[in-house]
């Protein structure tokens, strides 16, 4: 292995990257845009749920109940209706997601300490919102019940809940660390998946394989510049996350950077492998899109929890490197985890990176057929 040849390739790649400012800008712009959107727009925090109220009682008690809902901040009453049939159009046209129906004898029964029932109708189309709304309603119900029973009442069972790591339950803190894995996976794939296929298309690869260059020299030579960019990108994204979005970084920064580097190494090698296997740019780009974005987005545990997936899919996630990186990111950012807790993931990522690198070297044939 000759250092001179590796250096020649690396220098050439750097020059070419420099001369393609659009791709370079994209490599930094895309993460920024994604961070913004995921950080601000994509939120699972559910509030201001549109509600219609059908109050058949119209008493001070029923108004108090409705108040309980609006004061929580979770529900916004958009309209009061006077017929049961009017609920339909509201839910149908998406104008409201919840309807509250209060029976006409509500306050009478409450005052005479008899059981009464309130009907709540939920638009289940978005099951997640419905689920969360149900949780809110249950909490509000309990609170109201307590207030209505005379005298200071301590509930028989007081469940004290404490939330660890993400105490305000901000979905942003939940989303962004995992998002870093998705962003880096995609950027890496976009950058490297075409680099070798491009040379085949242009004809320079034919020239290159007629020289004494060895496959391992070529792969390393192409890895280095993209690693530099990828690492800079990673640092950039981490900085944005902590400074701009206020995501807490409780663990060790150097551990984060080291493990990120290992992940980068694997991802870049995979990109180069794709570029080798897909002999032209069109094929390589399709392969990259399929094998990078989809698994990273869906199967890494980034948004959709792995434990909820059917068995066979869970097994597949073991083969998705982004999965381990997401665990690492969430661990270091939110839990302040040390290497002790992440050793399994670190080892697997290292094995993955090495395996893909060796595969890429092996697959690169210095031949035209």
Partner 1 sequence: MFERIKHIVIKEFIQLFRDKRSVFFLFVTPVIQLMLFGYVATFDVNSISTAFYDLDTSSESRELERQLTSSGYFAVRYRPSSPLEITDLIERGKALCAIQVNSGFSKDLKRGIPTQIQVIIDGTDSNTAMIAMGYVNTIIARYARENSVSPVTPVISTIDFRTRVWYNPDLRSRNYMVPGVVALIIMLTCLIVTSMSVVRERETGTMEQLMVTPIKPMELMLGKTIPSAVIGLFDMSFITFVGVFWFNVPIKGELYFLVLCTAIYLVPVLGIGLFISTISKTPQQAMMASFFFFQPAILLSGFVTPIENMPRIFQYITYANPLRYFLVILRGIFLKGAGIDVLWPQMATLFTIGVVVLVLSALRFTKRLR
Partner 2 sequence: MVNNEIAVQVSNLRRTFGAFVAVDGISLTVKKGEIFGFLGPNGAGKSTTIRMLCGLLMPTGGSGTVGEFDIIREPEAIKKIIGYMSQKFSLYDDLTVEENINFFGGIYNVPEEQRKKRKEWVLDMARITERRTSLTSVLASGFKQRLALGCAILHEPPIIFLDEPTSGVDPISRRSFWRLIREMADAGTTVFVTTHYMDEADYCDKLALIYRGKIIAEGTPTELRREHMKYDVLELETDKVVEAMETLSKHHIEAAIFGSTLHITVEKAEEDMEKLAALLRESGIELKRCEKIAPSLEDVFVTLIEAS
Per CB under 8 A, 293 contacts partner 1: yes
Per CB under 8 A, 72 contacts partner 1: no
Residue 264 dihedral angles phi and psi, to the nearest 5°: -55, -45
User: Nearest approach, Cβ of 36 to partner 1 (angstroms)?
Assistant: 9
Cβ within 8 Å of residue 368, ≥6 positions away: 206, 209
- Binders of partner 1 among residues 207 to 246 (CB under 8 A) are none
Per CB under 8 A, 285 contacts partner 1: yes
- Binders of partner 2 among residues 186 to 215 (CB under 8 A) are 202-213
User: Nearest approach, Cβ of 231 to partner 1 (angstroms)?
Assistant: 20
Cα gap 34→37, rounded to integer Å:
5
Cα gap 292→322, rounded to integer Å:
9
Cα gap 176→220, rounded to integer Å:
31
Residue 354: contacted member of partner 2, partner 1, none (CB under 5 to 8 Å, by partner type): none
Pairing outcome for strands 98-102 and 75-80: unpaired
Cα gap 196→364, rounded to integer Å:
10
Per CB under 8 A, 337 contacts partner 1: yes
Inter-residue contact 182 to 297 (CB < 8 Å): yes
DSSP state of 51: E
Q: Using the minimum distance from each CB to partner 1, give the nearer residue, 304 or 355.
A: 304
Per CB under 8 A, 155 contacts partner 1: yes
User: Nearest approach, Cβ of 214 to partner 2 (angstroms)?
Assistant: 8
Interface pick for partner 1 out of 16, 70, 80, 145 (rule CB under 8 A): 145
Interface pick for partner 1 out of 334, 356, 360, 361 (rule CB under 8 A): 334
**3-state class (DSSP) for residue 134:** helix
- Contacts with partner 2 by CB under 8 A lie at 2, 4-5, 7-9, 11-12, 15-16, 19-20, 202-213, 366-369
């Amino acid at each position: 292995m000759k250092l001179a040849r590796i250096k020649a390739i690396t220098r050439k790649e750097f020059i070419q990257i420099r001369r393609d400012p659009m791709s370079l800008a994209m490599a930094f712009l895309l993460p920024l845009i994604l961070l913004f959107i995921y950080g601000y727009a994509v939120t699972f925090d559910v509030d201001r749920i549109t509600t219609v109220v059908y109050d058949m009682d119209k008493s001070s008690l029923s108004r108090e109940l409705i108040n309980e809902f609006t004061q929580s901040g979770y529900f916004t009453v958009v309209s009061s209706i006077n017929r049961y049939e009017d609920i339909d159009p509201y839910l149908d046209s998406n104008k409201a997601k919840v309807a509250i129906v209060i029976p006409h004898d509500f306050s009478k029964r409450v005052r005479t300490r008899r059981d009464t029932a309130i009907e709540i109708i939920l638009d289940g189309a978005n099951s997640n919102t419905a689920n969360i709304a149900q949780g809110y309603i249950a909490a509000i119900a309990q609170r109201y019940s307590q207030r209505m029973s005379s005298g200071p009442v301590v509930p028989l069972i007081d469940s004290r809940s404490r939330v660890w790591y993400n105490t305000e339950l901000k979905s942003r803190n939940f989303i962004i660390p995992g998002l870093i894995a998705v962003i880096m996976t995609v950027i890496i794939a976009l950058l490297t998946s075409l680099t070798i296929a491009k040379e085949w298309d242009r004809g320079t690869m034919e020239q290159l394989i007629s020289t004494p260059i060895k496959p391992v020299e070529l792969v390393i030579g192409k890895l280095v510049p993209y690693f530099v960019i990828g690492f800079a990108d990673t640092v950039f994204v981490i900085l944005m996350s902590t400074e701009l979005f206020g995501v807490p970084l409780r663990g060790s920064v150097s551990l984060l950077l080291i493990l990120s580097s290992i992940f980068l190494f694997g991802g870049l090698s995979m990109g180069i492998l794709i570029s080798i296997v897909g002999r032209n740019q069109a094929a390589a780009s399709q392969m990259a899109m399929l094998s990078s974005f989809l698994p990273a987005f869906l199967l890494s545990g980034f948004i959709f929890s792995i434990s909820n997936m059917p068995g066979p899919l869970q097994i597949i996630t073991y083969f998705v490197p982004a999965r381990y990186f997401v665990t690492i990111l969430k661990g270091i950012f939110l839990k302040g985890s040390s290497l002790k807790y992440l050793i399994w993931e670190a080892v697997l990522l290292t094995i993955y990176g090495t395996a893909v690198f060796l595969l890429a070297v092996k697959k690169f044939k210095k031949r035209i057929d």
